[in-house]
Structure 1
Amino acid sequence: MARGTRETILTTAIELMRIHGYAALSVKQIVAGSGSPIGSIYHHFPEGKAQIAREALVNAGIAYAAIIPAVLADQVDLGAGIRAAFTQAAEVTERTGFANMCPVSTVAGEVANSDESLRLAAAGVFGEWITLGRAYFESRGLEPDMAEEAIIAIVCSLEGAFVMARTLRSTKPLIAAGNALSARYEGVELSHVDHDRRSSRAEL
């Protein structure tokens, strides 16, 4: 039961940060959203809001790392796969009322120069995404340099497009970014993924 309470608190925190960022996050909001008494909050997270945010970012990072491999699992051309991924992201963003935003980049941009512990947590997530993404693309047949370039370019393009899309209330930034990036990798072949190793399809 304690584990369930802890995970509920972290899930609530990451959803709140995804929409509102870190500065606007309050323990009171986490209590209301998670249904956990304030005593449970401080029992599991004695450092309060900052500790919750750090651990929530790590949890979110693990979940988000699986998205690109899931979306590209059936793709054989990297350019086409990137276009499909950005199109899917645009559809989900519009469907959620432009609330679909990566919590890691939301918090990272907000606290990079003001909270070193959170900056380091976000940096750790970005670093893990690069490491895992590079390994994934290498497993699909890309050379190491291109594999690393591809994952960094995809993450950067998605995160920047999310910011513009949310601000403009338009999917055009995601579609344009996807089209531009897909042109760079059009014709880059992705090797086959065994059916038993495919992740279930996820939404961006």
Structure 2
Amino acid sequence: MANDTRTRMIEATALLIGQRGYHGTSLNDILSASGAPRGSLYFHFPGGKDQLVIEVTRDSIAKVTERLGEDLAAETSPAVAVHHIYQSVARMLEDNEFTLGCPIAPVVLDSPANVPELAELCRSAFEQWIGLLRQAFVRAGVPERRAHALALLVESSLEGLMVIARATRDRAPLLAVADEVAALVESAVLAGEARQRAEAAV
């Protein structure tokens, strides 16, 4: 029962933070949504709301990181992998009826400067996600500098498109940009391969 209560609080907090952000989610909201008694919050999370939000954010980041790594490893072509990622995000938004997007974006936008551990988690998350994309592009032969720029482009476009999709309640923008970004990645890979062949021939 104790674990069930803890799980309900974590799930409720993840949902509320995703919808309302850090400042828009109160302890009363969490308790009401989870059906947990007030005393159980500090039993499971002695640090209160901040500890709970940090744990939820860390868990959400780990899930996204794992899924991104799997998507990039599952395809031999990074362009195909990137296209699949955009499609997956589009399906996720449609499945949750455009109520949830990136799990850390609401936290970043709320800028809870009084919780430095939370800010560091979000900074590190973007670093990890951009790094995974960059590594995939480099492995495919894209020069490091361009691979980093492409990784930033993919991550930033996904973040922006999730906001647009939620505002318009339409996944079409994600699918449209998926084609363009995948084509750009493919072009970078082909250019990298051509450069490597030219260097090998010298």
Higher RCO by CA contacts (8 Å cutoff, separation 6 or greater): 1
- State the number of aligned residues: 188
Query: 2:194 is matched with which residue?
Result: none
- Classify 1:130/1:29 alpha carbon distance in 2 versus 1 (closer, same or farther; 3 Å): same
Q: What TM-score, normalized to structure 2?
A: 0.76
Partners of 1:136 and 1:78 lie apart in 2 by 6
Decide whether the 8 Å contact of 1:94 with 1:171 is kept in 2. yes
- Classify 1:156/1:115 alpha carbon distance in 2 versus 1 (closer, same or farther; 3 Å): farther
Larger Rg: 2
How far the C-alpha of 1:69 sits from its partner, in A, is: 2.4
Decide whether the 8 Å contact of 2:78 with 2:140 is kept in 1. no
How far the C-alpha of 1:25 sits from its partner, in A, is: 0.9
- Classify 1:68/1:147 alpha carbon distance in 2 versus 1 (closer, same or farther; 3 Å): farther
Query: 1:129 is matched with which residue?
Result: 129
Deviates more, 1:101-110 or 1:160-169: 101-110
Paired-residue identity, % = 28
Query: 2:11 is matched with which residue?
Result: 11
Partners of 2:175 and 2:111 lie apart in 1 by 28
- Classify 1:59/1:21 alpha carbon distance in 2 versus 1 (closer, same or farther; 3 Å): same
Q: 1:93-148: CA deviations, max 9, x gaps? A: 12321123112012212226x54524333213222333444455556665544543
Q: What TM-score, normalized to structure 1?
A: 0.75
CA RMSD of aligned residues (A): 2.8
- Classify 1:11/1:151 alpha carbon distance in 2 versus 1 (closer, same or farther; 3 Å): farther
Query: 2:88 is matched with which residue?
Result: 88
Query: 1:42 is matched with which residue?
Result: 42
Partners of 1:4 and 1:137 lie apart in 2 by 42
How far the C-alpha of 1:182 sits from its partner, in A, is: 1.3
Higher helix fraction (1 or 2) = 2
Structure 1 regions of 5+ residues with no counterpart? 190-204
Decide whether the 8 Å contact of 1:138 with 1:147 is kept in 2. yes
Query: 1:198 is matched with which residue?
Result: none
- Classify 1:142/1:13 alpha carbon distance in 2 versus 1 (closer, same or farther; 3 Å): farther
**One-letter identity of the residue aligned with 2:20:** H
- Classify 1:132/1:115 alpha carbon distance in 2 versus 1 (closer, same or farther; 3 Å): farther
- Classify 1:11/1:85 alpha carbon distance in 2 versus 1 (closer, same or farther; 3 Å): same
Decide whether the 8 Å contact of 2:77 with 2:140 is kept in 1. no
Structure 2 regions of 5+ residues with no counterpart? 191-202
